[in-house]
Amino acid sequence: MFAKILIANRGEIACRVIRTARRMGVRTVAVYSDADAGALHVGMADEAAHIGPSPVGESYLRGDKIVAAALATGAEAIHPGYGFLSENPDFVDQVTAAGFVFIGPSAASIRAMGLKDAAKRLMEKAGVPVVPGYHGEAQEIVLLASKAREIGYPVLIKARAGGGGKGMRRVEHPDDFSEALSGARREAKAAFGDDRVLVEKYVDKPRHIEVQVFGDSFGNVVHLYERDCSAQRRHQKVIEEAPAPGMTPALRKAMTEAAVKAAKAIDYSGAGTIEFIVDASQGLKADRFWFMEMNTRLQVEHPVTEMVTGTDLVEWQLRVASGEKLPKTQSEIALSGHAFEARIYAEDAAKGFLPATGTLHHLKFPDTVPEGASMRIETGVRTGDAISPFYDPMIAKLVVHGKNRQAALEALGISLSQTEIAGSTVNTAFLAALAADADFSAGDVDTGLIGRHQQALTAVPPPSSEIVAAAALAASGAGAQAPTRDPWSSLAGYAHFHAMARRTRLRYGEDDILALVSMRPDGRFQVALDAPYDSALDLRAAPRLARWPGHVTVFSGAVGYSFAVPDPLARADEIAAGADSLRAPMPGLVKLVRAAKGEAVIKGQPLLILEAMKMEHTISATHDGTIAEIATEGAQVTDGTVLVRFAEEAHG
């Protein structure tokens, strides 16, 4: 076994690898960029090495710097985690050429599966079923459009060099093909440095079911059953589970045999995942699944497999990479119970899942789960850490296990309702709504479920009068004490003829709220709310809440209602964006400008494309008008930057 390994990654996966390595007595070296100097994974590792500025292209994607760090610290092997360089065969060559062990598959295996089109041709030869489509080398638009017509609409354009929904477009009609192809190519180029695509038939009711495989250098390959990752938004996974609901013995046998066959076809060693698309329009059938791609690394969702098989896949990675055989044979790997993983992101579900930034002023996960269930939290952040625009906005993975799907689902819902995060917009309410969705609860899932139910899943009810009153009560003591002290005690005091009272102002969204808070002699508090609430409530106990600079967040189930608390001594900012300008919804790069100064535009017309976290977001006109100013291509903007300003006469 290795004495010391370097982890060429960050965040929760780096922390995950460190925990297993520590249990096995293996020392760890973390790497970090400027933005991650104080990150959790840096503090957890035995050593840490700085590898450059915050942008990934200058740090975590610099194989030379990572190898140099391994040389400087005396590491014997490098664990790539997932993302970044984990599936880059050139990096594997760099690592091995420098004399280190790469904790993962060979460069040859990664190359064999790295490009979707070539991988599908290889799988066809190996007898693994592949989805109908065009996987050829020619990339002329006329040819691709012709192939799309042959396949039959709707079709899916996919970047051949990557995944995660980047460089992917669904096309319903031939007239939309050219525009969708251009967008997919731009996004693929930005994310993977390769704008080549493939075109496939879009399956009407697709299920995304994948099989965890593991091989060693002695030719042994096993599977650890399947995971269902059909709950997706924008082609990115949200809640994963194992085993797949409704899985039949016939389909499981066919799918796991195909997965092992695929891994053996490339002499695979290490952890890998064979992803299949399944046509669920007529139930799960053994002849209605097709190979999509292979992820030649550990998956984000690997904990659900660990929970239902009782394995530590990171331990298996270390053992196999150090030259040992697989710890278990196929007959020794059994399924037990059911597990879910919910990905908690800093994102605004109500705004199309736009990534968010912010400081995690309050971060609290549940302490307990229902009897008979278990839970684990995979995270790379702590209270006080910042969610930056440089990296993936994941905050944590909440993983639960129960004796069956219903028990696990109940544990998931309860755990999400007890999770408290303040300081950034997060998706916990959306995740809880999805877990409670009737179709999802019944196991009737497919990749279009979230899209069909999106409005209901992302709708957050307005705060009740009780929630507003609780926020006002907490805010009434904001200027008198530290956030960690009891906010209710600040109203205690002596008044000769009347109860102590304090006037408090709050802001929720566009609403300005005025409240009068007073303490009664019996210890209760009365909060009188002005319009639009117009009510007076008596409160006795403190609800779940967090106070952070200039804000109060009140938690109700999985929803966190955040109220701004204006500083009464500061002059209010009267300058608002108004309808005469469009602002950046998040930090990003102005990738493409599609209108010009002085041009008359109509409502809904695309004006520019903002790239943030390697995804493209179209900024469209909110009304008819004439453009007075517009951002320039290549401009790096921050959250709230004015991108488009309309001429005043547009609203005359």
d(CA 534, CA 270): 63
Alpha-carbon radius of gyration of the chain: 27
Is 297 an annotated catalytic residue? yes
Positive/negative CA dihedral, 302, 304, 307, 308? negative
Q: How far apart are CA 361 and CA 546, in angstroms?
A: 8
Tokens standing for residue 610: 């903002």
Q: Are strands 338-345 and 236-242 parallel, antiparallel or unpaired?
A: antiparallel
Tell me how far apart the alpha carbons of residues 190 and 167 are, in angstroms, rounded to a whole number.
9
Name the pairing type of β-strands 347-348 and 354-355: antiparallel
The identity of residue 543, as a single letter, is P
Q: Which long-range contacts (CB under 8 A, 24 or more apart) does 401-405 make?
A: 401/307, 401/308, 401/337, 401/338, 401/339, 401/373, 401/374, 401/375, 402/337, 402/338, 402/339, 402/370, 402/372, 402/373, 403/337, 403/338, 403/372, 403/373, 404/337, 404/338, 405/241, 405/245, 405/338, 405/443
Closest CA to 343 of 300, 380, 309: 300
Q: Confirm if 246 and 268 have CB atoms less than 8 A apart.
A: no
CA–CA distance, 586 with 334 (Å, rounded to integer) = 45
Q: Which of 10, 252, 297, 343 is catalytic?
A: 297
- The C-alpha atoms of residue 360 and residue 346 are separated, in whole angstroms, by 10
> Active-site positions?
297
